[in-house]
Chains A and B, each alone.
Chain A
Amino acid sequence: MINFFKKKEITKKINHKLQLTKIFPWITKLEDNYINLSNQDINIRINEILDLKKYFKTQIGINQLLDLKDSLVTSGYPENAAQLEIDFFLELFEDDTIKNLLFNDSAGLHLHQKNGYFNKKVKVNKDFGLIRTSIGKVFIVGSSNTLLPVLTSLFLSYIAGNNTVVQLSSLHVNCVPKLIENIPFDGSKHIHFTNLLREKEEDLSLIEALVTNINWNVINVWGGNNSLNFYNKIISKNTYRPRIVNMEPLTGALIIQQDYFEQNLDVNIKNLSSSIQIMGQQLCSSPTIGFLLNYNFNQLFDSIFENIIIDIEQNYTSNNSDESNSIKLDRMINLARDRGSTVYTSSKFSNNICIIVSKNQSVFNEYDTTNLLNIHERRNFIEIIRVENFTEIYKIINKLFINFSYKETKKIQTLLSFADKTFDSEIHQLASLIGAYRIIDSNYVLRRYPMEWFDNYNLFSEFTNLISVVGSKVENL
């Protein structure tokens, strides 16, 4: 009986493998395409991408972007978040952005710049040189919280000269292919979308077949814990052992030095409120926990938090679709009150905007509970903990990710600092201890500087193959 089922399962898998080329005809052309792309000068593709900047200023281009925005809004994005996605997407095609991405000093890519062009062969010295080439076949998995990362990966992989296959979140499965396939560039021939939905059982096995049977060179996964667990499990079955670039679910922490914050109060309130609110607080850099240093209960203390809430109110978009989370939120807020934290909520929008100020530790330090929301289920909500020093911050963060609220999150990606320079070295040390990837001011919660690495990955480097040329072979580079 058991053997019978095993046989059936194997047959099913083989069928999937055979089905793949029928469902995805582009699979048969991957090798030929790769050779063509590999022989093409990378600068042709770079110019193609730079030309898109002009295209998106034409009426057709503008209409396409409006369509994309409408699709995002229809699928549940707040309108301002959708607009931000579009704005930052357009920045991708700016000369400076491309230059910083492709000739990034911090990744050593500046070696490839010659007279403004990308030079794939570099003679470093008489005994050592480099050839940077496309890597081959790249499979990219997009997340649902934001569109920009998957689009950045997709364009960088194409520029690098790869066949690029993209598995999108169900929120983007229609709008992104529609955009990419209709913009005037050669990339649409080399970028393929699976159009599969991980939520559908039939599609799930096809995704598994795609991931495990093709000799991918890189698999780049942007996603939450569930998604990463799923893909990493099936990637391990791929005997070609692709390079895995996991972009983990991360979050941000806020550092406030009260006396510094008060010096420029109005501006800081505005900047902090927008940092909390931007993209529904769902970015890996969105502050979800904060630490208050040099605090004193002066006359301003309450008004700081009250004014942050008032500022958030001005751009508040209702998200009243989930009664479940609202009730849990109320239980969570009551729990904080009962544990002695000070709770600030909105007089206009009630619990839906909430700042909790706790003392010395998080009041949500349960490991497993039914009355807490995790950070992905909350919006406009932050717990700020009063601490005496950075050692306390380290201790709290060190234990944070076993708590229910943070269980699905790997670590702190970003330290958002509202502190003066006397705190800098301690913030650097804290970032080092907790393994944070970024220390930023409020301008960079959503925005990334093009030279930044993505969570310790330089994506362009990951999408290329670096060949070392050594000794006498350097001469002809």
Chain B
Amino acid sequence: MSNKPFNGNGIPSDLNESSSKLYTDEYFQLLKKTLTAKNIVNNSKEETKNLQKSLLYPYLEFFIRNDKDDFYKKLFFNRGIAKDQKGTLNDNLELIDLIKLRVHSDDLRADGQQQRLIHKDITKEDGMNFMSSGTTVGTNGPVNVFRSNISLSLSRLTNGNLIDWSIGKKVDEGETLFHMAPEMTNFLAFAAIGSDFLRDRGLGVRFGAKVNNGPADSTIWQRLGPDIKQMKSFFKDKNPTKYFIASGVGLYKMFMEPKGIKKLMMKLALSAPPVYLGDNGVLMIGGGLKRLPSSITSLDQIVKNTGDFILAGDNKNAPPAPVIDMLGLTESLNVFIGVPTSPHSNDPWIKFPHPLTYTALLKSPFDLTPVENPKESEEYLLFYVNLMTLDYVEAIIPGDFVKATKDMDSIDTALGKRNISQNGFIYSRRAEQNEGFKIREGCG
């Protein structure tokens, strides 16, 4: 019997990490200890810096120790961070040196990740592959990233840290509705990792979409339809803590597109809008602008238009539910999380990395040098290294341009003040196709 939680889909409930060969590795144990002692997203920026510095050599040594076919020993030498091809690391390496190990997201298309994986003889049961939509033309396939169960076990902790920090309490009760189909948790990183973590924390998880029957040559995206029954049951649920997780497209199709008779039919079928999320309810959104009409130029527009229909309470007088926007990338084990914001707020949506995600802003595509003191509001190219990804060196230039924020130690949110463990950024744009990266569906 499948131990996959959502009608046989998604990340297995039991990741059985202790069966992994890497379980006893000192770096895994170090990470586990670091992540279970306390929520390190509450650390100060100084503490984060020190933590990242302290992990630099253990992180690199992990790959040397667990190398497959000497790939990383050679890579570290060729990229100038090791003295020889035996894995003797240079002295005095700094975090900034991690840029030398950069991988562009296009390098992870098709089987690009394969040679970088450290695992030998790993089976499908030991992990999952996550993929981008594959709709981009002119590439050699979708971004395709394998994640082992042991890495996924760490992602439960890190993404859990992020949500707890953003919401301001340990998230361990409530109901959730993912506005997507359970089948999408088999390949879509954001859906899989988010639903896995919330279920693992004991929350009820429902999916508001389903995959309908369709022509054999159609894609899963073309066959997606609403699951009225699941949505209705979530909307009717009286739990005071409900999390509604949707894409911009989902919100648009549910609350903005239907007019006249269609709107009435929607209301009859779902008993919504408005949607009551309970006193502690939060709307979480992600995804890009693809498949939205051209009049929609930012998710902010959708949130402002739908804010009055998604309420934190159980009656029409309840305030709009706060919104948390997340940046999820196929090629990142962690999301970059926003903070709770009023849907009517004009504050910029700042995304924050987990302390185990070392983030640097690069000058430009023409000069990939990390900028030490980025200027507020200026546009840079994003680079990050997930120090908790154990399957390969996840040092990624995803092709997203972001704007720097001012240097802050804390931020006021719709649910109280939060300290900042590492500077965040404001998402700016995907690079356009003629600017070097292929436009990717569903991210951003």
Contacts and interface: CB of A to CB of B under 8 A. Distances in A.
Task: Answer whether A and B are interacting partners.
Answer: yes
Contacts of A330: 102, 104, 365, 368
B138 A327 contact: no
A371 interface: yes
B365 A334 contact: no
B221 interface: no
Given A324-B435, A326-B436, A371-B106, A350 B369 contact: yes
B107 A371 contact: yes
A328 interface: yes
A199 interface: no
A359 interface: no
Contact of A323 (B74, B78, B139, B436): B436
A328 B436 contact: yes
Contacts, number: 64
B213 interface: no
B140 interface: yes
A328 B397 CA distance: 12
A337 B437 CA distance: 22
B79 interface: yes
Contacts of B317: none
B366 A331 contact: no
A324 B106 CA distance: 12
Nearest to A318: B366
A327 B436 contact: yes
Given A325-B436, A327-B436, A370-B139, A350 B78 contact: no
Nearest to A346: B367
Interface string B334-374: 00000000000000000000000000000011111100000
B75 interface: yes
Given A334-B102, A370-B106, A371-B107, A324 B138 contact: no
B434 A324 contact: yes
Interface residues of B, number: 26
B366 A338 contact: no
Contacts of B365: 323, 326-327, 330
A326 B431 CA distance: 12
A395 B181 CA distance: 56
A380 interface: no
Interface of B is mostly: mixed
Contact of A320 (B366, B434, B437): B366
B366 A352 contact: yes
A327 B396 CA distance: 13
A340 interface: yes
Contacts of A371: 106-107
Nearest to B431: A323
A323 B437 CA distance: 9
Contacts of B109: 370
Given A326-B365, A350-B367, A338 B436 contact: no
Q: Which of B75, B366, B434 has the most CB of A within 10 A?
A: B366
A340 B73 CA distance: 12
A283 B102 CA distance: 33
Contacts of B437: 324, 327
Contact of B78 (A328, A331, A337, A369): A337
Contacts of A351: 366-368
A331 B79 contact: no
Interface in A308-338: 320, 322-328, 330-331, 334, 337-338
Contacts of A352: 366
A328 B433 CA distance: 12
B63 to A, nearest CB: 14
Contacts of B433: 324
A347 to B, nearest CB: 10
Interface of A: 320, 322-328, 330-331, 334, 337-340, 349-352, 369-371
- 10 closest Cβ pairs, A-B complex: A327-B436, A323-B435, A324-B436, A323-B365, A323-B436, A326-B365, A350-B367, A337-B78, A326-B366, A320-B366
Interface of B: 74-75, 78-79, 102, 104, 106-107, 109, 138-140, 364-369, 397, 399, 431, 433-437
20 contacts: A323-B435, A324-B434, A324-B435, A324-B436, A327-B104, A327-B397, A327-B431, A327-B437, A328-B436, A330-B102, A330-B104, A334-B79, A334-B102, A338-B75, A350-B368, A351-B366, A351-B367, A369-B140, A370-B109, A370-B138
